[in-house]
Chains A and B, each alone.
Chain A
Amino acid sequence: MVELMITIVIMLIVGSAIGVVIVDSQHGWNLMYDHINSDVVTDGYVARKKFDSTIRKASGESISLGDDGGWVEVYYCASDSSTAPDRYARFYKADRDLKVMYGKLAPKVTLDTDTICGNVSGCKFKQAGRSVQMILKLNDGTQENTIVTSAMTHN
C-alpha cells in the first residue's frame, strides 16, 4: 500500500511537471505563431510594401504633407510615355484603416481608394528632402505592432 502511494505521488509530481512544460510550450508556440502570422504583423508587411513601392516611383519634385503629418501625397507618372507626373497617391488614416487614394491630376479627380490594412491605432508621416517616412501603429486589442519605414522618391 505504501509503495503504491509513493508511486502515485511520484507519478503525480512527474505528470504535473510534464503538464506544466507542455502547457507552457503550447503557450509559447501560440505566442510565436501570433508574432509571425497574426493580422497586425502580416498587415504591417503589406503596408510597408505598398508604401515602399508607391513612394519609390513617385516624383521627388513635390511632396505634400498634412499639417499634423496625418497624410502624405506624392505624384507619379501613369505610364512610360508620361513626361510629367499625372497621377497622385495619398496615404491617410480613416477611422481604424490605412487607406491610399489614387487620382488624376489637372484637374484633380479621384479614381480609386484602396484599404491597405485595418486595426490602425496611429499613423504619422514625415518628410526629409526627397524621402518620406511612415510610422504606423497596428493594434488588434491583443497585440501591438509598430512599423517604421522610409522610402525615397526616384523620379
Chain B
Amino acid sequence: MKTNKTVKLKNRGVALPLALIAIVLLLTVGTSILSMGLNARVYSIRDASDISARCAADAGLTKALYEMNQKLQSKSWFGYELPCETNTCLSNCDATFDYTVTWSPSGYTIQSTGNSGQAQRTVSCILKQQSPFDAAIFSEGSIILHNSGIVDWYNYDSGDANLKVATNSTKNGSVSLKSSSIINGDVTVGPGGEPDDVIELKSGAKIEGETSSLTQEHELELPTVPNWFELLPAGDTIKNNTTIYHSGKYSGIDLKSGKKITVIGNVKLYITGDLTLGNSAELVIEEDSSLALFLGGDLESKNSSKINNETKIPKNLQIYGLEGCEDMDFKNSSDFYGIIYAPNADIVIHNSVDIYGSTVCNSFDMRSSGKFMYDASLRDETFSSVPTSLVVTNWREN
C-alpha cells in the first residue's frame, strides 16, 4: 500500500513541472522571434523614412531650381522675391520639404530639407548661369580639323575645367582630326556614343585630354532677337562704305570688293537676309566698340575679306545665326576675334587664319592649318540673346 501511494504521488508531480518548462521555453523562443521581428520592422521603418526624407530634400531642390529658372525666363529678377517654401507635402508620401534660396557673392544658394518621421536630410547647392560657350566648339553634327589644325585655349585659370570640344552626334567619324591636328583638351561625343568610333584620328593627330560621351543630349535652342527690332522697319541692303554708330535693322549686307563697314560704339544689327563681304571687303569693329549681329540669312566672307575686331576681345563681336542662317563661309585673311552662336549653320573656315573665341553650330569644318583659340573667360559671361538656364554646382548632402 505504501509503495503504491509513493508512485502515485511521484506521477502527480511530473506533469506540472514539465508543462511549465515547455511553456517557459516556448515563451522565450516566441519573445525572441517577436523581438527580432520588431527590430527588423523598426529598422525598415527608419530606412524607409530616411529614403523618403532624401527624396523630399531632392524634390525641394528641384522645385527651387525650377522656380529660379522660371524667374530667369520671365526676367522677373528681384533679389527680395527669392522663392521659398515651408512644410510642403511630397505627393503620395507623408514626407515634407522646406527650401530657401539665398544670395551671396558666390551666387544663389539653395538649401532644401526633407523630413519624414524622425528622419531629416538636407541638400544644398550653388546655382550658376550656364554659359552657351562652355565648349570651344560645340556642334550638333560633325567637327573636322584638317591637317595641322590646332584647338587650344587662353584666359584660363589653374583648376579650370579642361578645354572641351563636343558634339551631340554619335555617328562614326563625326569628330575627325586629320594628320598632325591637335586638340589641347577633352573631346565629348553624343550620349551613348562610343568615343573610339565617333572620333577619327589620322596619323599624328592627338587629343591631349580625355574622351567621353555626354550623359544627355545638349539641346541647342535658337537665339532670340530683341523684341524692339521687330518693330523697326528694315533698311536697304548695305553695299558701300558705311560707318554705323547706332543699332539698326537691315535687309542685308552685300559689301562690294574693297568696301568697308566701320562700327563705332556698342551696336546691335539685325540683318534679315544674307551677309556677304566681297573680295577684300572689310567689317571693322573699332577699339572700345562692340557688335552683336543677328543674322537671318547666310554669311559669306570672300577671298581676302576681313572681319576685323580691333578690340581683340571675342565677346565684343557676337554673331547670332537665326533659323534661316544655314551656311557660314569664312575666307577672311585676318585673325577673327568673336563668338558665333548659330545652331543651324554649317561653318567652314577656309584660310589659315587664327580664330579667337568660341562657336556653337550645326557642323564645323576647319579646312586650314590655322589655330582655334578658345577664350575660357567666356564661361563666366552671360549672353542675353541665347536661351540659358541656371544649373546646379557644388551640390552637397548633409
**Is A145 an interface residue, CB under 8 A from the partner?**
no
Chain B: which residue is nearest A127 at the CB level?
A: B215
Chain B: which residue is nearest A62 at the CB level?
A: B212
Size category of the binding interface on chain B: 35 or more
Is A36 in contact with B394, judged by CB distance below 8 angstroms? no
Is A25 in contact with B29, judged by CB distance below 8 angstroms? yes
Residues of B within 8 A of A53 (CB): 397
Known: A18-B26, A84-B161. A130 touches B215 (CB 8 A): yes
Is A36 in contact with B25, judged by CB distance below 8 angstroms? no
Residues of B within 8 A of A21 (CB): 26
Is A83 in contact with B215, judged by CB distance below 8 angstroms? no
Is A28 in contact with B33, judged by CB distance below 8 angstroms? yes
Is A57 in contact with B396, judged by CB distance below 8 angstroms? yes
**Is B392 an interface residue, CB under 8 A from the partner?**
yes
Is A154 in contact with B25, judged by CB distance below 8 angstroms? no
Q: A82 CA to B214 CA in the complex, in Å? A: 21
Encode contact with B along A27-67: 1 for CB under 8 Å, 0 otherwise: 01100110010000000000000000100110011111000
Residues of A within 8 A of B397 (CB): 53, 56-57
Is A22 in contact with B26, judged by CB distance below 8 angstroms? yes
Known: A4-B11, A60-B215, A64-B212. A29 touches B33 (CB 8 A): yes
Q: A21 CA to B347 CA in the complex, in Å? A: 83
Is B15 in contact with A11, judged by CB distance below 8 angstroms? yes
Residues of B within 8 A of A22 (CB): 22, 25-26, 29
Is A15 in contact with B18, judged by CB distance below 8 angstroms? yes
Chain B: which residue is nearest A153 at the CB level?
A: B215
**Is B204 an interface residue, CB under 8 A from the partner?**
no
Q: Looking at B39, B159, B215, which has the most chain A CB atoms within 10 Å of its CB?
A: B215
Distance in Å: Cβ of B175 to nearest Cβ of chain A: 16
**Is A80 an interface residue, CB under 8 A from the partner?**
yes
Q: How many residues of A are in contact with the other chain, CB < 8 A? A: 36
Residues of A within 8 A of B216 (CB): 60, 129-130
Known: A33-B36, A83-B161. A62 touches B188 (CB 8 A): yes
Chain A: which residue is nearest B11 at the CB level?
A: A7
Q: A22 CA to B214 CA in the complex, in Å? A: 60
Residues of B within 8 A of A60 (CB): 215-216
Residues of A within 8 A of B214 (CB): 61-62
Is A29 in contact with B32, judged by CB distance below 8 angstroms? yes
Residues of B within 8 A of A86 (CB): 159
Q: A60 CA to B125 CA in the complex, in Å? A: 14
A68-93 with Cβ < 8 A to chain B = 77, 80, 82-86
Q: A44 CA to B175 CA in the complex, in Å? A: 42
Is B393 in contact with A155, judged by CB distance below 8 angstroms? yes
Which of B22, B37, B162, B393 meets A106, CB within 8 Å?
B162
Distance in Å: Cβ of A81 to nearest Cβ of chain B: 8
Chain A: which residue is nearest B126 at the CB level?
A: A80
Residues of A within 8 A of B258 (CB): none
Distance in Å: Cβ of A47 to nearest Cβ of chain B: 14
Q: A29 CA to B34 CA in the complex, in Å? A: 10
Encode contact with B along A2-19: 1 for CB under 8 Å, 0 otherwise: 001001000100010010
Residues of B within 8 A of A28 (CB): 33
Is A29 in contact with B212, judged by CB distance below 8 angstroms? no
Known: A22-B29, A56-B397, A62-B212. A155 touches B18 (CB 8 A): no
Is A83 in contact with B159, judged by CB distance below 8 angstroms? yes
Chain B: which residue is nearest A73 at the CB level?
A: B212
Distance in Å: Cβ of A107 to nearest Cβ of chain B: 11
Is A36 in contact with B40, judged by CB distance below 8 angstroms? yes
B373-398 with Cβ < 8 A to chain A = 392-397
**Is A143 an interface residue, CB under 8 A from the partner?**
no
Chain B: which residue is nearest A65 at the CB level?
A: B213
**Is A115 an interface residue, CB under 8 A from the partner?**
no
Residues of A within 8 A of B37 (CB): 32
Chain B: which residue is nearest A35 at the CB level?
A: B40
Residues of B within 8 A of A130 (CB): 215-216
**Is B219 an interface residue, CB under 8 A from the partner?**
no
Q: A85 CA to B32 CA in the complex, in Å? A: 50
Chain A: which residue is nearest B29 at the CB level?
A: A25
Residues of B within 8 A of A64 (CB): 212
Residues of B within 8 A of A26 (CB): 29
Encode contact with A along B202-225: 1 for CB under 8 Å, 0 otherwise: 000000001011111000000000
List 25 interface pairs A-B (beta carbons < 8 Å), by A numbering. Answer: A4-B11, A11-B15, A22-B22, A22-B25, A28-B33, A29-B33, A33-B36, A36-B39, A36-B40, A36-B43, A56-B395, A56-B397, A57-B396, A61-B214, A62-B215, A64-B212, A77-B394, A84-B159, A85-B161, A86-B159, A106-B162, A130-B215, A153-B215, A154-B395, A155-B395
A residues at B contact (CB < 8 Å): 4, 7, 11, 15, 18, 21-22, 25-26, 28-29, 32-33, 36, 53, 56-57, 60-64, 77, 80, 82-86, 106, 127, 129-130, 153-155
